[in-house]
Amino acid sequence: MSDTSYNQALLEFANAGLAALSDYAAKSSSAKTPAAESHFLCSWMVTALKERRFSKLIADDLTFWIRQARSMGAAAELKLLLQKISQQYSYIAGKQQGLAASLKAMLTELEADDWLIITDQEVTKKLKLASDGHSSLIIPEDQFQQRIDGNELLKPITLYVRAPEPAFSAVAYKHDLLLSAGNKKASLIKHHKAYQIWPKNLQPALALLQPLVD
């Protein structure tokens, strides 16, 4: 399992969970209610964790989802979670090249949509940005200059963003970029969240998930 990426481990887990739920539903008439689905998936996850069926890369996620399901029941929406993971990580598996070009294309689109885009500012301490109400995105100058080689990302790049998260996440995904969860505490720009994009989209933790597409 040492050569398995987090993305691969997560996708394998989600697809296995959905397949197990489908098999269960075929055998039980009551399995299609949200409560029954949640109970089954929670039990399945508990067994999977105990038996170490999946990579330890997702062990913390699994523990968190089990805790959520136990406290929230059907409101934890485990089936929807697995469906989103399966959809997104299946799609992104083939989107590992040209991500610097994707980033630049996204910046061009956002700038055309009246965003304030800054890539030539040193960011080494807490800063405040006056954006006059516009959505804004800042990439530290050293990262923008040193972590890009042609069309490829060499290292993770931090994006400081002030904008509604679902809208920004959707634009990034449209440009084939997985975003880390936004972190306000880690941001060096006031009123902005810090996000990261990674080479080959190999995020080390669960990325922001998009709504299901029919």
Q: Where are the domains of the chain?
A: 6-92, 99-201
Q: For residues 137 and 160, is the Cβ–Cβ distance under 8 A?
A: yes
pLDDT in tens, the chain (214 residues): 457 899 999 999 999 999 999 999 888 776 678 888 999 999 999 999 999 999 999 999 999 999 999 999 999 999 999 999 999 999 999 999 999 999 999 999 999 999 999 999 898 788 887 777 789 999 999 999 999 999 999 999 999 999 999 999 999 999 999 999 999 998 989 889 999 999 999 999 999 999 998 7
Closest CA to 208 of 183, 180, 187, 184: 180
Q: Residue holding tokens 């516009």?
A: 134
pLDDT at residue 1, as a whole number: 41
The partner residues of 183 in beta bridges, in order of sequence, read 194
pLDDT at residue 31, as a whole number: 66
Q: Specify the pTM.
A: 0.92
pLDDT at residue 133, as a whole number: 76
pLDDT at residue 2, as a whole number: 53
